[in-house]
Structure 1
Amino acid sequence: MATTVNPPVAKKRLSFFERYLSVWVGLCMAAGVVLGRSFPELTGRLRAMEFDHSQINIPIAVLIWLMIYPMMLKIDFSSILGVRRRPKGILITLFVNWVVKPFSMAFFAWLFFRHLLVPWIGPAQADQYIAGCIILAAAPCTAMVFVWSYLTDGDPAYTLVQVALNDLLMLILFAPIVRLLVAGASGLEVPFQVLLYSVIVFIVIPLALASLSRVVLIRWKGIVWFENYYLKAFHPVAIIALLTTLVFIFAFQADNILAKPLHIALIALPILLQVYFNASLAYGLMRLFKVPFSVAAPGALIGASNFFELAAATAITLYGPESGAALATVVGVLVEVPVMLSVVAFCNRTRHWFSSEVPQAAGS
């Protein structure tokens, strides 16, 4: 059967905030470093604010909730039931995210930090950077995937299903995968109780609150009010929370960043390799199994991007805000937007590789 060329689609653009996210990240990095170096006592107090015996930083936890809750509000878990009619795309996405991605990242991090880059970073920092990269890769992206899907004219309903299933699997797989791979590749101890606290605080609680809010508010006020007013009201809150989180993380990391600028570039190397490897694998499998472009492109982007907010919070909880592991997750934030935009551009240029399909509901 001949491949059908998709008709040209209107060029889509990011919002002002999303288009310049790398700029905002850079400004937050500068502001955080200035805060950390100019007000060390204030930064120390913020860093010391933790839930009792949990090692979870309270300011970071509150900000993460303010980011994750609006993301989770968008997810309609009932849509998962309809995916059985078009299972190939979701199966490939789940395979890349949970069977390939964490393990490939563990391998690349081990190769670079234990062997190729160890003369520049040293063995102690190597273990920390390996742990941070693994934590980053074990958390599939949620919110920004909707932006990347929009830019590739992806099927929004199917993208929603892919994100929803990844979120559900994170509840079960994130903690054991992180513990297994970090202990195996870096040799660092991963306190399972602390990791479990992270899953409960940063995934279970906001997911439960968002699911309950969605059901109750839609029944009370209707879907139109929920999407046009309630969801939109949280958009600026989530943006402010994201930027404030970055300021705090960079403030906690100020000494690390100023003392090791070369390390930031070196940490980016395995992260970039892993992103392009997993995006290519997912995209290639989608083409091999004749998945439509509207599903293939978002699937490749989900396979490449990370839930960096959760990763940073988990690394801080496990090893502290000034740790190398936390720094590695921060580097993931720095490379996320430009790298993902390059993947979006590649997908759009190769749209003709796939059959044409009008985006439809996931269950149709």
Structure 2
Amino acid sequence: MGLFERYLTVWVGLGILAGVGLGLVVPGAFRAIAALEFAHVNLVVAVFIWVMIYPMMIQIDWSAVRQVGQRPGGLALTLVVNWLIKPFTMAALGVLFFEHLFAPWVDPQSASEYIAGMILLGVAPCTAMVFVWSQLVKGDAAYTLVQVSVNDLIMVVAFAPIAALLLGVTDLTVPWETLVLSTVLYVVLPLLAGLATRRVLQRRSPHAVGDFVAWLKPASVAGLVATVVLLFGFQADTLVSQPLVIAMIAVPLVLQTYGIFALAWAGARLMRLPHAIAGPACLIGTSNFFELAVAVAVSLFGLNSGAALATVVGVLVEVPVMLSLVWVVNRSRPLEPALAD
């Protein structure tokens, strides 16, 4: 591992501090950047995420994509966790904490909105950052692409019914612009660019792809840190003005993330999945499609609602927690024989 990857958690930690500090010192700059969005997708953040995803897309071999059907275990694990377990455990944790454990400190209206925001996060599996986590654990790039693509297809038909069921609403409308734009920005465009780049490099030499990806690694890490700076900068005022509320929302979200990962990881071991498939399969089930969750929360409950705040806390919690899980997956490498086919 190079300098950038080895101390990634340090860079992210510094990015968090820088984001909060800059957000308080120059809030106007962050408001201007936050305004550069379309369909609840911030275009500046999208560029940085694109920079992170692009190197992994270059590594995808289409012949390997066609072989994914011969190893359905990882895909099955992801789908079961994402759609049959995760939304319901998120709802249960929300009720446990905000209707019982935290009830003395939260009014009923706010509690119901926090629960709603958590549910929206639980029903929206991640599209973009999954590629980053997969790359960091040296996951199978082709397999990860298939997992994300299948999840996106299921999300089209399953998101609204499950969210409506758990929220108790009947008129929930999926923000299709957000869903389609995110899929195009984070999957289709970087995939096409990666395939085109791969073809050009393969014509040069057998080692050109690996050399180019290695050259891009610092830029990919820089993209992650820049994304963290922006996300925390956007919410600097909220973090400072409502620290207790942020902490209360973060507790069940963090427990949900680690709990779902532990469940998925245990399933991967029982299924004897290889590391390159087990790692991404477990991480996909723990991260969230925060643009979609935020968009629905705003449309249903309003921009300044507790539900919208809960989805934002999900964004802030995700990167540090997911990095810790990346560390866990990478530390498990000596156990590879136990997970091999």
**How far off its partner does 1:168 sit?**
0.7
Could you report, residue by residue, the CA deviation over 1:207-243 in whole angstroms, capped at 9, with x for unpaired residues? 2223323333333331735523443343333222222
Q: 1:144 aligns with which of 111, 133, 136?
A: 133
Could you report, residue by residue, the CA deviation over 1:241-272 in whole angstroms, capped at 9, with x for unpaired residues? 22222112111101111122233433333233
Secondary structure, in 3 states, of the residue corresponding to 2:60? Answer: coil
* Runs (5+) with no aligned partner, structure 1: 1-13, 151-155, 358-364
Change in Cα spacing, 1:163 to 1:98, as seen in structure 2 (3 Å) is farther
Who is 2:46 aligned against? 61
Could you report, residue by residue, the CA deviation over 1:35-82 in whole angstroms, capped at 9, with x for unpaired residues? 22222322222222233xx34333223333333333333333442322
Could you report, residue by residue, the CA deviation over 1:100-135 in whole angstroms, capped at 9, with x for unpaired residues? 233333332343234432433444265246425643
CA contact (8 A) 1:278 1:300 kept: no
Change in Cα spacing, 1:351 to 1:230, as seen in structure 2 (3 Å) is closer
Could you report, residue by residue, the CA deviation over 1:137-174 in whole angstroms, capped at 9, with x for unpaired residues? 622622222333x4xxxxx5xx3343122221233233
Change in Cα spacing, 1:243 to 1:132, as seen in structure 2 (3 Å) is farther
Could you report, residue by residue, the CA deviation over 1:267-322 in whole angstroms, capped at 9, with x for unpaired residues? 33323332333333333334444x25546742663355426xxx344455553698
Distance 2:156 2:106 in 1: 27
Q: What does 1:23-102 correspond to in 2, within 5 Å?
A: 23-51=10-38, 54-102=39-87
The worse-fitting range, judged by mean Cα deviation, of 234-243 and 218-227 is: 218-227
Residue 219 (structure 2) pairs with residue 237 (structure 1):
yes
Who is 2:315 aligned against? 329
Q: 2:287 aligns with which of 288, 303, 306?
A: 306
**How far off its partner does 1:344 sit?**
4.9
Distance 2:231 2:280 in 1: 29
Who is 1:9 aligned against? none
Could you report, residue by residue, the CA deviation over 1:153-206 in whole angstroms, capped at 9, with x for unpaired residues? xxx5xx33431222212332335544444444456886523xx22232222234
Distance 1:185 1:240 in 2: 38
Who is 1:124 aligned against? 110
CA contact (8 A) 1:130 1:325 kept: no
Change in Cα spacing, 1:36 to 1:242, as seen in structure 2 (3 Å) is same
CA contact (8 A) 2:261 2:285 kept: yes
CA contact (8 A) 2:120 2:293 kept: no
The worse-fitting range, judged by mean Cα deviation, of 269-278 and 328-337 is: 269-278
Distance 1:133 1:18 in 2: 33
CA contact (8 A) 1:89 1:286 kept: yes
Distance 2:84 2:15 in 1: 34
Residue 245 (structure 2) pairs with residue 247 (structure 1):
no
Give the TM-score normalised by structure 2. Answer: 0.78
Distance 1:228 1:356 in 2: 25
Residue 324 (structure 2) pairs with residue 338 (structure 1):
yes
Give the TM-score normalised by structure 1. Answer: 0.73
AA partner of residue 262 (structure 2): S
Distance 1:186 1:17 in 2: 42
Secondary structure, in 3 states, of the residue corresponding to 1:209? Answer: helix
Q: 1:171 aligns with which of 152, 158, 163?
A: 152
Q: 2:178 aligns with which of 198, 201, 209?
A: 198
* Runs (5+) with no aligned partner, structure 2: none
Distance 2:262 2:48 in 1: 33
Query: Identity of aligned pairs, percent?
Result: 28
Secondary structure, in 3 states, of the residue corresponding to 1:138? Answer: coil
Secondary structure, in 3 states, of the residue corresponding to 1:142? Answer: helix
The worse-fitting range, judged by mean Cα deviation, of 40-49 and 222-231 is: 222-231
Who is 2:88 aligned against? 103
Change in Cα spacing, 1:28 to 1:180, as seen in structure 2 (3 Å) is farther
AA partner of residue 204 (structure 1): V
